[in-house]
Amino acid sequence: MAYMHIGLGYFHQSLYYDAIQNYLKAEPFFQKEKYWYGLRSVYNNIGLVYNQWDDLENALKYFHKNLELRSKFDDPKLSSTILNNIGRIYLQFDDFDKAVKYFTESLTLCEKYELEYMASVCYDNLGRTYFKLCDKQKAWKFNEKSISLKTKIQDYSGLSNVYQSKAMLLMQSEEYKTALKMLDNALSYATKVNEQSQIASIYLIFADIYEKLNDLVKQKDFLEKSLDIAELHQLRSNTLKACLGLSQYYQQKANHKQALQYYQRAQQIKDHLSDDKKNSAIQEIKIKMEVERTEYEKEILKQKNEELERMNAQILEQKKRLEHAEKELKELNQNLEQKVIEGTEKRHMQEQIIIQKSKLESLGRMAAGIAHEINQPIGLIKIATQNLFHKFTTQKITGKYLKEKSAFIEENITRINKIIEHIRLFSRDQQLDNTQKIDVKEIVENALSMIQMQFKNHNITIIKEIKKDDLFTIGNKYRLEQVILNLLSNARDALDEKFDELDDEKKIIIRNYSQGKRIVLEVEDNGCGIDSQTLEYVFDPFYTTKTETKGTGLGLSICYGIIQELKGNIDLESKKGTGTIAILELPAYSIKS
């Protein structure tokens, strides 16, 4: 225990080489005495040293060693701390799924054993994770929970950090005025506990916001405030940022002398930081060499055994694959032609079933809007018949009035019939009818007729930039309508993910135009967008970024297949946080086609 506490003393002085030396001296004593709590604490502390050195692999190794000892000694507070440490490393790796998994597991322990401080830490970390995932709603929710709990336990330093996170979240969505209010709260709590490093950082965020707001006077004021605190307390990182910010400010003001002075000060700090990093790196290399030397002999045998096991497993796996391939080849050779025919027919049937199922699912999602479209004329018919009955009972009915009301009722009945007939034709399996002439404008209007009330309820504005020119293609019009409905549904989900429910900024633009012998139809939204890495896989079957309740990953895959049948192309252009454009290219109809 003495070795471990000496190590802690060195750790808090940032003397990591001396810290880890004492932790390694404590380890064999704890192992010999089977004092599992001490051993778990040592592994945690060694992991923290590696984390400071940015050696995340070794940090994870010791944190997992700690968790492996839970079966021998389980301390909820220590376990929740370790789970949080592991989650933070996965957050640095940008492995958000694993980060959420470990933070949630830690939070479950905290709630079970009423560990309020650690629970507030979990909420902080989950908020940061969802901030990186651009899930504003969840990030905000966890920040609010953290604030509530930290207020209860009077963790003012933690409250300052949470309000800074909220300010950064608001800056991301350009809500600068609300972000300033959050920073005022952060500054209040940091001042209450005299956290000078936090105050210096908060002033830098103030400066960033006022730069965005083009208020250069306030930007300069906060940069100077941050610099005063940072220099007084030797906060080199904050000093560097403040000097660079002031250098840029004076450069904009054409005061090149002042700009140069601040730039030179920033360069001196960079040199100091570079020296610190070099010294830290030398210490890190030295301790790693010693640790590797002590563990080398026991690890080398383990690695060889694992390598042999892997090789044996690979050989067995290859043998199984060869046997399986040989068996399949024999079976295929026996009746190859029949199997190809059966496989092709089965695949075609499955594709048609999936397309039909997707179409019926779309109708299910649009049921409320369709019901509203039908209920409106029914309501009008009801009012008209009541008026007729009233005129009849008061003997004030005239031939002209009767004719007008009858025509009005017939018109609304016809409207209902058209809606029902369109749904009936859309929902049936149209796989054999693929050679009809299609009016693109008509297809767009038909699709909108089934979803416009639903989108209106989502506060989404639909802008139609439809050319009056006759633009025709050839194929199955109900299949094309299914594609448009899928794209509109995706656009709605993207808007709902980015904006609040009542936000009136949600917009979808539908436009069409001709391009040589091709017709182009675009569906554009200003929703959450798709990052470039995800964009590569959006047309793959079962690939989805939505939850299980919102998507199966088949929508765009089905769209791709239908457009290929129509001898067209489909593509997406998107930018994360800005929006998406779905582009359909179809062959223009001609007498030859």
Q: Cα 566 to the chain's mean position, in Å?
A: 33
What CATH number is associated with residue 567?
A: 3.30.565.10
Same-domain status, 449 and 516: yes
Query: Containing H/E element for 520?
Result: strand 518-525
Domain boundary among 224, 257, 275: 275
Q: Are residues 362 and 410 in the same domain?
A: yes
- Evaluate if residue 239 carries a pLDDT over 50: yes
Backbone φ and ψ of 475, nearest 5°: 150, -150
**362 in the same domain as 425:** yes
* Domain encompassing residue 459: 431-593
Give yes or no: residues 435 and 574 share one domain: yes
Percentage of the chain exceeding pLDDT 90: 28
Domain assignment present for residue 87? The answer is no
pLDDT at 291: 62
Mean pLDDT in residue range 420-426: 62
Can you list the positions of beta strands (E) in 344-492? 436-439, 461-465, 472-475
| Residue 103 covered by a domain | no
The pLDDT value recorded for residue 429 is 53
Tell whether 583 and 472 lie within a shared domain. Answer: yes
Clarify whether residues 403 and 502 are in a common domain: no
Same domain for 525 and 409: no
The confidence band for 593, taking pLDDT boundaries of 50, 70 and 90, is: very low
**365, part of any domain:** yes
Q: How confident is the model at residue 42 (pLDDT cuts 50, 70, 90)?
A: very high
Question: CA 425, CA 283: separation in Å to the nearest integer?
Answer: 75
418, 439: one domain = no
pTM, full prediction: 0.42
| Residue 22 within any structural domain of the chain | no
Which residues partner with 581 through β-bridges? Answer: 524, 573
In this predicted model, which residue has the larger pLDDT, 432 or 120? 120
Output the domain CATH number for residue 355: 1.10.287
Helix segments in 34-155, DSSP class H: 36-52, 56-68, 76-92, 96-113, 116-132, 136-153
Residue 555 φ/ψ, nearest 5 degrees: -55, -60
* Each residue's pLDDT tens digit, 136-190: 889 889 988 988 988 898 988 888 988 988 898 888 888 999 999 999 999 999 9
- Give the count of domains, the chain: 3
pLDDT at site 376? 62
- The pLDDT tens digits for 328-347 are 777 777 766 666 566 656 65
CATH number of the domain within which 259 lies: 1.25.40.10
**Domain identity same for 415 and 495:** no
The reported pLDDT for the residue numbered 551 is: 52
Q: Does residue 532 sit in the same domain as residue 558? A: yes
- Asked if residue 99 has pLDDT above 90, the reply is yes
Q: For residues 495 and 430, which has the higher predicted lDDT (pLDDT)?
A: 495
Structure confidence at residue 431 as a pLDDT band (50, 70, 90):
low
Going by pLDDT thresholds of 50, 70 and 90, the confidence category of residue 485 is: confident
- Per-residue pLDDT, 407: 82
Q: Look at residue 89 in the predicted model and tell me its pLDDT.
A: 92
pLDDT tens-digit profile of 182-223? 999 999 999 998 988 889 999 999 999 999 999 999 999 999
- pLDDT the model gives residue 97: 93
